[in-house]
Structure 1
Amino acid sequence: MIQQQDELLEPHLDKLGASNKQVFGHPAALFVLFFTEMWERFSYYGMRALLTVFLISEITKGGWGWSNAEAMSLYGWYTSLVYATPLIGGMIADKLTGFKKAILIGALLMTLGHASMALEGFDANFFYIGLGLMILGNGMFKPNISSMVGQLYPDKSSKKDAGYTIFYMGINAGAFLGSLLCGYLGEKIGWHYGFGLAGVFMFFGMLQFYFGQKIFGVIGDKPKTKEELAAKKQTLDEEEVVPKNVVRDRLFVVAVLMIASIFFFLAFEQAGGSLSIFAKDFTQRVLEGSTATTFKWVDAILTIFPIVVVTYVLLSLAKKLFKEYPLTIIFTLISFASIAVLGLWKVQREFTSLETEVTVSWFQILNAFFIVMFASAFSKLWEKVWNPSGPIKFALGLFLVGFSFVVVAYGAMDIPAGAAAGAVRVSMIWLVLAYFFQTMGELCLSPVGLSYVSKLSPKKLLGLIFGFWFLASAISNKIAGVMGGMIDSISEKYSLSTFFMIIAIMPMVVALILVLMNPMLKKKMHGIN
C-alpha cells in the first residue's frame, strides 16, 4: 500500500508542474514550506514568549507593570485575533491573490509589525501598531501555507499525515528558536531587542520563499482567466465526482474535530498566559551550586542540538535544490548561520555568568524542543506501526493535555490559597513534565487536524475551511485568555491547584465523548483515513 502511494506521488507532482525531487521520501517543496513556516513561527513565538512577561514586569525593569488580569486580557485578544484573521486571509487567497502572493504579503506585514514593536521604548503606540500588523500579516500567511502543504500529496496518500508532521516539526523548530533567543534577549538584554530580532528572521523567511516559488508549479497560483481556472480544476478533478451527501458528511467530521480542538487549545494556550504567571511568581528559577551547573549544561544541549538537527535537514535540501534555486538556499543558510552564532553566544554568556536565573520564557522552549525531538517518531508511528482514526488521535491529544494540568495542579498543592507572588516557589520539574505531556498531546492532535482538514474539505473551499480551522483556535485563545485572567480570583478563594484542575477536566471530558463518537465519525469520512 505504501509503495503504491509512493509511486503516485511523482505523477501527482508532475501533473501540477511542481518539482518531483524528493528529500527523505517527501517532496522537496515541502521543505521550502518547512523553512518559510519555521521563520514565521520564530517571529510569532518569540514575541508570544515575551508578551505577558513584558506587560506584567515592573516599570523599573522596563515592563509596563500591568496586573495579571489586564495582561491576560490583552494576551487573549491578541492571540484570538491572530487566529481569527486567517478566515479572511483564506478567502482573499481563494478569490483574489492565490496562496503564494498571500504568503508574501503576510510575511511583509509581520516584518513591519516586529520593526514597530522594537520601537516601543520611544512611543507606546508603536507597540499597538506592531500588534495590529502582526495580526493582519498572520491572517494572510497562516491558512495559505498550510493549504499548500496539503496539495503536495494525493488525497489518499499515507504520506500526507507524515508530511504534515514533518511540516509541524518546522513550525516547532521556529517556535523553539524564537522562544529561546527572543525570550533571552528580551528578558536579559532589553525588551525591544527581543521584539526586533523576531522581525529580522521573518524577513529572511520571506526572501527564501520568494526566490523558491517555481518549485510549487501551479500550486498556490493566483486565479486568472476562466480557461486557466478550468484547466486547474481538471488537475484536481477528484472533487467533481464526490456525491453531495459525502461532502456533507465529511464536513460534519471536520466541524466536530474543530469543536474538539477548541477544548484542546483553551488548555494548551495557557502556556503564554497562566503558566507564564506560574513560572514567574511561583516557580524556583534562581539556581545555585551543582544545580546551576547542571542547568547550564542542559540549556546548552537544548540550544545546540535542535540547531544541529535542522542544519542537517537544511543541508539535505541544499544538495537537491542549490543548482535550481540558489538564492532560496543562500538566504536560508545565512539566516540559519546567524541563528547558530546567536545560540553559541547565549551558551557562552550563561557559562561565564556568576548568577543562574532561569528566564520565564525558557519554559516555553520545552514544548517546541519536545516536538523537534519526537515529531519524526510520531510520523513513523502513524505511517508504519499504529495509525488509528482521526477522532481517536484527537481523543488521545485531549486526554494528554488535560493530564498535563493534573501534573501542574499536583505540583501546586503546597501553595496555599491567596499566596502572594514569590511567597512559595516550587520545583521546575512540574512545568517540565507538564510541557512534555502537552507536547505529546499536541503531536496527536494538531498536525493530524491540519491533515484531516486538507483531506476532507472540497478543494475549491480549502482556504476558507482552513480559515475556519484557525477561527476555532481564535475562539479557544479568547477563552484561554478569559480563563487565565481568573487565576488570581480562583487561587485566592480556593487554591492555585484548584485553578489548574478546572482547566484539566474540560479536555479530558471531550476526549471521552470523541471515543464514543468514533464509529459514527469513521463512517461519515467515507474512506478517508
Structure 2
Amino acid sequence: MQTSIETKDDFFSNKVLGHPAGLFVLFFTEMWERFSYYGMRALLVLFLTSTIAAGGWEWSKADALSLYGTYTMGVYLTPVIGGLIADRLLGYRWAVILGAFIMTLGHASMALETPIFLYIGLGCLMLGNGLFKPNMTSIVSKMYKDHPEKKDGAYSIFYMGVNAGAFLGIMICGYIGEKVSWSWGFGLAGIFMFLGMLQFYFTKNIFGSIGLLPSEEKKLQKAQNVVTDVVEEENVPKNIARDRLIVVFVFSIFTVFFWAAFEQAGGSMTIFAKENTTRILTGGAGLTFKIVDALLTIVPLGIISFVLIKLFSKTISRFKLGNLILASSFLIIWGIVLWKVEREFSANTTEIAASWFNILNSLFIICFAPVFSKWWESKYNLPGSLKFGLGLVLLGLGFGFLAYGSTAITSPEIKVSMAWLVFAYLFHTLGELCISPVGLSYVSKLVPAKWIGFMFGVYYLFLAMGNKLAGVSGSMIEEITHKYSLTTFFLIFTIVPIAAGLLIAALHPILKKLMHGVK
C-alpha cells in the first residue's frame, strides 16, 4: 500500500533547466550539507595527527583512524532511524531542518577544539545526518511521483549537487584548516551548513504539500478527498524471493570489502599525502599547479553560480529572504576563493594542502559519471555481479599504484610524486561508479516491495560495517609500515579487493540463476 497525496501545486510550471525550481532548492541545500561534511572529513585525521606545534593534538595514527572509522560508521547507521522519525513524527521538511541545525551545532562544537566538544560534535554530526540525508532524497522522490520519466534526470542533477558540495568543501575548508587555522576550517563547515538550513527553511513552501508533518498530510488528504492508491505487488513465490534475498546478502558482503578499502581516502591516503608525497613545488611546476588549481576552483563555481542565477529568476519574487541568504552564501564563497587564488599566486613557492587530493574523487565523478551512465544503458551493459567484480578490481589497482610508488620510500625523508595519488583516486572513482549506485539499484530490484525499506536499512548496515573496518584496518598503518613496509600496507588493499572482485565475478553463473530473471 502506498499513499499518494495529490496537490494543486504544479511543480513543472516553474522550470529551471527543464526541472522544477524546487529541485534546485534541494540541490543547493544538499550542496551546503556535503560542503560541510566533506570539508570536516578532509580535516579530521590531519588535525588529530598533526603536532602540537602545528596546532594539532598529536594523536597516534591508530587512534585517529579508529575514531574516523567510528564516525563514518555512524553516518551510515543513523539514516535508518532518521527516516522512521520523519515518517512517523516530523515529516520530511522538519526532519531536514532539525538535522541541519544539529549538524551546525556539531561543527560549532568541533571548532572549539577541546576533547569533550570533539566527541559532542561528532555525535551531533552523526545524529543530524540521520535526520537530513534520507529525507532529502525522499522529497525528490515525492516531487517526481507523477513524472517517473524525469526521475533519473532529477537524481543526476541532485547528485551533481552532492559532488559540487564535496568538491568545494574539501577545497576551501581543507585549505583554510591546514594553512590558516584548524578552528576556522571546522567553523566554515558549520557556517555554510547553517546558511544552507536557513535557505531551505525560508524556501520550504516551494514544495507545496510535500514533506509536511504526518498529521498535516492526513488533514490535507481528507480535505482533498485523496484516495489511497493500491499498488499491485509482484506475486513472487517464497523460494524465488529467498534466492533473490541471498543475492542481496552476497552483494552486501562484497560491499563491505569495497568500502573498507575505498574509505582509506579520508584516513591512510590522507596521511600518505601529508607525510610521503611531494607537495612543495617550485618554478614552472609550481606555477602550473597554481593555474590548474585556480581553474579547478573558479570554473565549477562559475557554473554553479549560473544555475543559481537561473533559480533566482524563477523564485526571487516569492522567496526573497531564502534567495538573499543563498546569494550571500555565494558571495562569501567567491570572496574566499578569490582570496585563496591571490594568496597562492603571491607566494614564492607552492605547498599543496594534503587535503587537496580528496577533491579528485568528486572531480573524476563529475567527468566520468555520464560515460558510465551511457555504458549501463547500452547493449554492452554488464550484469550486477560483473559490475561489482570490475569495481573491486579497479579499486585494488588504484592501491597498486600507491604500493608501487611506496617502494621508493626507504626513509621518512623521502617523498614520492603526487602522480601516484592522482592515479589511485582515478581508479578508485571508476570502481565507485561500478558499485555505489549499482548496489542500491539491485536492492530495489531484488527485494519484495513490502521489505524494501527494511532491506535498505540492512544494506546500509553493511556499509556502516565497511566504514568501521576502514578505520580499523587503516589504524594499522604505523604497525605494518614499521614491521614490514608502507608498500606492504598498500599491497593488502591491492590484493584483497582484486581477489574479492575475481571471486564475485566467478560467482556470476550462480548469482544469475538465483536472481530468477532480474537483470
- 1:499 corresponds to which of 489, 496, 504: 489
For residues 7-406 of structure 1, what are the structure 2 equivalents within 5 Å? 19-21=11-13, 22-120=15-113, 123-153=114-144, 157=148, 160-224=151-215, 237-238=230-231, 240=233, 243=236, 245=238, 252-383=246-377, 387-406=381-400
> Once the two structures are superposed, what CA deviation does each residue of 1:381-440 show, in whole Å capped at 9, x if it has no partner?
445675544444333322222221111111112224xx4xx3221000000111111122
- Distance in 1 (CA, whole Å) between partners of 2:271 and 2:481 is 12
Give the 3 Å change call, closer, same or farther, for CA 109–516 of structure 1 in structure 2: same
Question: Is the CA contact 1:390–1:452 (under 8 Å) kept in the aligned structure 2?
Answer: yes
Q: Which residue of 2 aligns with 1:435?
A: 425
- Distance in 2 (CA, whole Å) between partners of 1:83 and 1:118 is 23
Q: Which moved more, 1:211-220 or 1:72-81?
A: 211-220
Q: Percent identity?
A: 54
3-state SS of paired residue (2:211): coil
Q: CA deviation at 1:259?
A: 2.8
Q: Which moved more, 1:267-276 or 1:135-144?
A: 135-144
> Once the two structures are superposed, what CA deviation does each residue of 1:11-70 show, in whole Å capped at 9, x if it has no partner?
x99779561355445554433322221111111111111110101111011100111112
Question: Is the CA contact 2:388–2:505 (under 8 Å) kept in the aligned structure 1?
Answer: no
TM-score, normalisation: structure 2:
0.88
Aligned-residue RMSD, C-alpha: 3.3
Q: Which residue of 1 aligns with 2:469?
A: 479
Q: Which amino acid aligns with 2:133?
A: K
Q: CA deviation at 1:451?
A: 4.6
Give the 3 Å change call, closer, same or farther, for CA 109–337 of structure 1 in structure 2: same
> Residue 445 in 1 paired to residue 435 in 2?
yes
Q: Which amino acid aligns with 2:482?
A: E
Give the 3 Å change call, closer, same or farther, for CA 155–104 of structure 1 in structure 2: same
Q: Which residue of 1 aligns with 2:480?
A: 490
Q: Which amino acid aligns with 1:442?
A: E
Q: Which amino acid aligns with 1:403?
A: L
Give the 3 Å change call, closer, same or farther, for CA 50–33 of structure 1 in structure 2: same
Q: CA deviation at 1:207?
A: 2.1
> Once the two structures are superposed, what CA deviation does each residue of 1:95-141 show, in whole Å capped at 9, x if it has no partner?
32222221111100001111111122xx4322222112111111211
Q: Which amino acid aligns with 1:280?
A: K
Q: CA deviation at 1:213?
A: 3.0
Q: CA deviation at 1:166?
A: 3.2
Question: Is the CA contact 2:209–2:217 (under 8 Å) kept in the aligned structure 1?
Answer: no
Q: Which moved more, 1:471-480 or 1:385-394?
A: 385-394
- Distance in 1 (CA, whole Å) between partners of 2:375 and 2:310 is 23
Give the 3 Å change call, closer, same or farther, for CA 340–524 of structure 1 in structure 2: farther
- Distance in 2 (CA, whole Å) between partners of 1:410 and 1:16 is 61
Q: Which amino acid aligns with 2:390?
A: L
- Distance in 2 (CA, whole Å) between partners of 1:26 and 1:527 is 34
Question: Is the CA contact 2:12–2:19 (under 8 Å) kept in the aligned structure 1?
Answer: no
Question: Is the CA contact 1:114–1:196 (under 8 Å) kept in the aligned structure 2?
Answer: yes
Q: Which moved more, 1:451-460 or 1:48-57?
A: 451-460
Q: Which amino acid aligns with 1:468?
A: V
- Distance in 1 (CA, whole Å) between partners of 2:182 and 2:333 is 19
- Distance in 2 (CA, whole Å) between partners of 1:211 and 1:527 is 47
Q: Which amino acid aligns with 1:170?
A: G
> Once the two structures are superposed, what CA deviation does each residue of 1:208-228 show, in whole Å capped at 9, x if it has no partner?
222333444554343338966
- Distance in 2 (CA, whole Å) between partners of 1:198 and 1:512 is 40
Q: Which amino acid aligns with 2:408?
A: D
TM-score, normalisation: structure 1:
0.86
Q: CA deviation at 1:354?
A: 2.1
Give the 3 Å change call, closer, same or farther, for CA 465–220 of structure 1 in structure 2: farther
Question: Is the CA contact 2:233–2:449 (under 8 Å) kept in the aligned structure 1?
Answer: no
Give the 3 Å change call, closer, same or farther, for CA 142–251 of structure 1 in structure 2: farther
- Show structure 1 runs of 5+ residues with no match: 1-11
Question: Is the CA contact 2:43–2:174 (under 8 Å) kept in the aligned structure 1?
Answer: yes
Q: CA deviation at 1:157?
A: 5.0
Q: CA deviation at 1:308?
A: 2.0
- Distance in 2 (CA, whole Å) between partners of 1:314 and 1:75 is 34
Q: CA deviation at 1:477?
A: 1.1
Q: Which amino acid aligns with 1:222?
A: L
Q: Which residue of 2 aligns with 1:424?
A: 414
> Once the two structures are superposed, what CA deviation does each residue of 1:424-463 show, in whole Å capped at 9, x if it has no partner?
2100000011111112222232234445555666677666
Q: Which moved more, 1:394-403 or 1:434-443?
A: 394-403
- Show structure 2 runs of 5+ residues with no match: none
Give the 3 Å change call, closer, same or farther, for CA 238–41 of structure 1 in structure 2: same
